[in-house]
Structure 1
């Protein structure tokens, strides 16, 4: 599913990632843990094609059998929209749109019809227990509801892999627990692969595998 080799990243003279090698299997739930500033989010952004590693002769990133580092920016954007979903700590919902409209946005970018996008969005929101909240805007939703809308938005194009960056970091403990359980339910029912950066020990312990980031390097826990 995901194969990364020899991934380096620098910010000025600061070496943030120091030759990361990583292999994630299809339908695997992997947690990446480690102290703040260790490079977790930087790695996630590179794996999710939101950023690029430092150029060297041997770096490689393969996602779903596609060598993404060899692609041009427009091609990478299309690949990202089709194959990758993102869930962030702060849900990043657009406040002027309803829950249903927010979920549909990635489908519209993919140029799917309004009917098709809305039908799929409604199914996801129903699955996530939000069928009675579809027409509400984000400011009328609880934190847990907003994050579930963000999950539906991440899944609308049926991505191969979902990257989540501290997805429960802004939730109360009850909502966080429900969100964690949801990830595994989605993996079991729909076959999604999840790569989750988290400080939440409970979530990390639930994962199939835990990777520890320290000083720009990965080790298995």
Structure 2
């Protein structure tokens, strides 16, 4: 599913990633842990094509058989929309739109018809226990509900992999526990692959594989 080799990232003279190798198989839940400043989010952004690695001959990033380094910016944006989902700590829902409208945004960007997108959005929100919240805007939803809407949005285009950056970091312990269990339910029922940056020890221990980062490298 994902094979990243010798991933480097420099910001000026600061080397944030120092040759990271990581491999993720389909339908795995993988966690990336480590102290703040270890390079976790930078790595996640590169794997998710939100950022680019520092060019090197020996570096490569293959996602579902596609060589990311060979894609133009336009093709990369299209690939990201169709094959990758994202969940962030602060759900990033648009406040002026309803739950259903927020979920449908990736499908609208892809060019899916409104009818088809809304049908898929309703199906996802129902699956996540939010069928009674379709027309509610984010301000009327609890933190856990907002994050489930964000999960539905990430699933909208049936992505190959979902990248999550501290997805439960802004939730109370009960909502966090429900969210963590949801990831594994989605893996079991939909075969969904997750790569999750987290400080949550419980979630890291639940993962199929855990990578520990320190000073820009994976040490375990």
Instruction: Give TM-score scaled by structure 2 length.
Output: 0.99
Q: Corresponding residue for 1:99? A: 99
Question: Post-superposition, which runs of at least 4 consecutive aligned residues in structure 1 deviate over 4 A?
Answer: none
Unaligned 5+ runs, structure 2? none
Cα deviation, residue 177, structure 1: 0.1
Counterpart-to-counterpart distance in 2, 1:202 and 1:56:
36
Counting only pairs closer than 5 Å after superposition, residues 31-180 of structure 1 correspond to structure 2 as 31-180=31-180
Counterpart-to-counterpart distance in 2, 1:140 and 1:85:
24
Cα deviation, residue 11, structure 1: 1.1
Counting only pairs closer than 5 Å after superposition, residues 184-199 of structure 1 correspond to structure 2 as 184-199=184-199
How many residues end up aligned between the 2 structures?
220
Counterpart-to-counterpart distance in 1, 2:64 and 2:187:
16
Counterpart-to-counterpart distance in 1, 2:38 and 2:199:
12
Deviations 1:129-155 (A, max 9, x none): 000001000000000000000000000
What is the root-mean-square deviation in Å for CA atoms of aligned residues? 0.5
Deviations 1:144-167 (A, max 9, x none): 000000000000000010000000
Unaligned 5+ runs, structure 1? none
Deviations 1:150-207 (A, max 9, x none): 0000000000100000000000000000000000000110011100000000000000
Instruction: Give TM-score scaled by structure 1 length.
Output: 0.99
Q: Corresponding residue for 1:13? A: 13
Cα deviation, residue 219, structure 1: 2.6
